[in-house]
């Protein structure tokens, strides 16, 4: 199940994939899903292994004794919509 409550069909799994994030190597299992806009989506199964972590456009967690900080990409500036 994904964030909007929808269920996605998954027939394939890649186990023990080496993934480098912020110069740290993680060994993860990846489900093969048809998605758009992202190469990898961090699932709750993986996020639970990092507990505790802090997230608010910045994600901090410990991995092998090191504090890792991931900083999100800033969204474009928003402007107010007007109606003539």
Going by pLDDT thresholds of 50, 70 and 90, the confidence category of residue 74 is: low
Structural domain contains residue 84: no
Over residues 18-70, the pLDDT tens digits come to 988 778 888 888 888 777 777 777 777 777 776 666 666 677 888 888 888 88
Over residues 57-66, the pLDDT tens digits come to 677 888 888 8
Task: Tell me if residue 27 falls in helix, strand or coil.
Answer: strand
Other beta carbons less than 10 A from residue 10's beta carbon: 10
Structural domain contains residue 1: no
- In this predicted structure, the answer to whether residue 83 has a pLDDT above a threshold of 70 is no
- Dist CA 81 CA 63 (whole Å): 43
* Closest to 73 measured CA to CA, from 45, 44, 38: 38
Residue corresponding to tokens 């409550």: 5
Task: Decide which of 55 and 2 is more confident.
Answer: 2
Structural domain contains residue 26: yes
44 is in which domain, residue-wise? Answer: 13-71
Q: What is the pTM for the complete model shown?
A: 0.52
Q: How many domains does the chain have?
A: 1
């Amino acid at each position: 199940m994904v964030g909007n409550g929808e269920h996605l069909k998954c027939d394939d799994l890649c186990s023990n994939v080496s993934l480098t994030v912020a110069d740290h190597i993680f060994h993860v299992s990846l489900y093969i899903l048809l998605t758009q806009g992202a190469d990898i989506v961090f699932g709750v199964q993986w996020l639970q292994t990092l507990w505790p972590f802090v997230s608010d456009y910045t994600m901090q967690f410990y991995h092998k004794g090191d504090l890792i900080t991931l900083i999100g990409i800033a969204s474009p500036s928003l402007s107010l919509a007007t109606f003539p």
